[in-house]
Structure 1
Amino acid sequence: MTDALPPLDHIPADLVSAADYQRYASHYLSANARAYIDSAAADELSHAANLSAFARWRLQTRVLADVRGGHCRRELFGLSLSHPLLLAPVAYQKLAHADGERAAAYAATAVGSSMLVSTLASTPLEEIAAAAQGPLWFQLYWQPQREVTLQLLRRAEAAGYRALVLTVDAPLAGVRNVEQRAGFQLPPAVYAANLPGQAMALPALLGGQSVVFDSFMAQAPRWEDIAWLRQQTRLPLLLKGVLSVADAELAVQHGVDGIIVSNHGGRVLDTVPASLEALPAITAAVGERVPLLLDGGVRRGSDILKALALGAQAVLIGRPFVHALSVAGALGVAHLLRILQEELEVAMALTGCRTLDDIDRRLLWPQ
């Protein structure tokens, strides 16, 4: 369908999982919005792999364990979280709901979670921080001019953001054929509110030059930029989009405080491994030195448990909360987070885990 239904003001009885929110969202998102939110790169194999990677792991149950008084609370870079689950940075959330990022941030902090606010948010970062009931993190896309990058950082610091997350796996957009076929365009009222008048100006090309290598990649960040950024702020600095052990090692060497293992929801380069597939090797290499987070494919509380068992300290969700946002605004996002927390607690109890400290690879059935 082309026209979207208005968001609900209540939660229907049959809306009990992330999959249900995805099903409902097909009626509450416009076709144009779905082309952006639900698409992935090329043949979408990496997006599918993110989901199937969790299904391949089996959980080892434990019976008669004493888990009385258990909980799934986590301390992470100064955040006191009710559960190890945050909202991933997603651009242009007003595509899904008129209140966009304000509603999502309010819902997340109201239920003891938090949100990573995108540079490409459709609401200014200051307004999002004011709407939230608790602290947020800021996701930074490197800008062609260092002074613009620094301006974004200073704005985030002034607004009270608690950590800086630099996305490093998307120096240029992936080849998203679904978007191309649908002719996706941002509506006039939806734009990058944090970058007014900062449309990217690509260098002029000479004959024989490449738009990829001589335009986009000529302005992309490099390791020396990470060293510079580390010097500009006392905020915890995380890199988002690391899949290789070599890059994880370099990140630690450059003073990064945390790593988000992620393939960008399969939206940048197709046929890269699922985030969960990359996690164990990165855990073995640097997991004792910096906290690791993971995003990509998390749809169940049992998925969260598996990610933690493989070395993550927390996980992020993207598409699922945008689906919930489109269906019921802040109410939907809060409800989804409650569902996932309850599913995680059930999975912990049935695998003999009283707290998150009890979670390790022994919970996973040998592959």
Structure 2
Amino acid sequence: MAAVVAPQAPKKARSARDPRLDVLRGAALVTIFVNHVPGNFYESLTIRNWGFSDAAEAFVLMSGVSAGLAYGPAFRPGGEVWSGLARAWGRAWTLYLVHLLVTLAVLGIAAGLALWFHTPGLLHMNGVDVLLGHPLQTLVALPLLLHQLGYINILPLYFVLLLAAPGLLWLGWRWPGLLMTASGMLWLVAGTFRLNVPTWPASGGWQFSPLSWQILFVLGLLTGIRLREGRRLVPINAWLIGITSAFLAMALVWRIVPAVGGPLNHGLMWLDEAGLPWTVTAFHKVWETAPRLFHALALAYLLSAIPAVRRACASVWLSPLALLGRQALPAFALGSVLAMLLQGIKTRTGEDLLLDSLMLAGGLSLQFALAWAKDRWPGR
């Protein structure tokens, strides 16, 4: 007698992974690594010299998109909220541990260079000197994120934003307009009144104020939600492409032509003196002021709206960047540690095009090798 096979429900088709997210995230990681070794020739070629924003904005925006895609479905009406909460906060805990590990590695590198290679320069850079001056207070502040070393302080921002992601995603499915309005108002108030998380024992605030930078993350979350629905957050139309292209061209000219940038900077100063909110007229990274924010959003919209960008990102030539983007966290952690090592070495060598080229190429090769190994790790 033939066995009776119960019919199986058809599997739900998985949506194809958008190659742009991985490739652009990989490009952002390369840019961050190059910029985190100041004084090398190649940093003059990175995006921060072509406009107002840099790879940090891209990193936060794409982190929001990734979180919306990965955790968003759990928070839609009828979704598995507790499962989504556990996954999002589990990822946040991983980010926290990675940040502490990178911090410990950087402190070890600074001490090792001074102890064995008579190169103490890194001990006096990037906030490491605070540990030497206030050891007990700093050892308490580091795990509390009240003190963060320079150049490795974006993960605490992502950690805090990911903790808030479940609530933001829940709102984003139900009242996206309300969420976007509240996010915009918080951004404006935080920038206008310089609101930030304080640091200790060194007085100051976080390099990235979460109250300001949340606007990029929220826009990323809403974009991820819309992508899950097969829609765009902002539709493609010719006039918007024209406006964003014109704004990006203006920003480029503003940056590279002093005869144009000078008068425009004075114009912003005049607007500031006339009473326009500071967060609209200033160029400040801590509070993600308007010129940086608008530049990042214009660039993101244009890259997402041009079909040729998607085709290019799907090509085999850019697959190394896609690989790096898929393994963003381990690549970023290794890159941060290597960048601090190279900073310490450069305190002795100064500017040297050949040496800088070899060091940067070696550091990027190690990151690609780690991403390749991690991508093929069993049970990854």
- TM-score after normalising by structure 1: 0.28
- TM-score after normalising by structure 2: 0.27
Higher helix share: 2
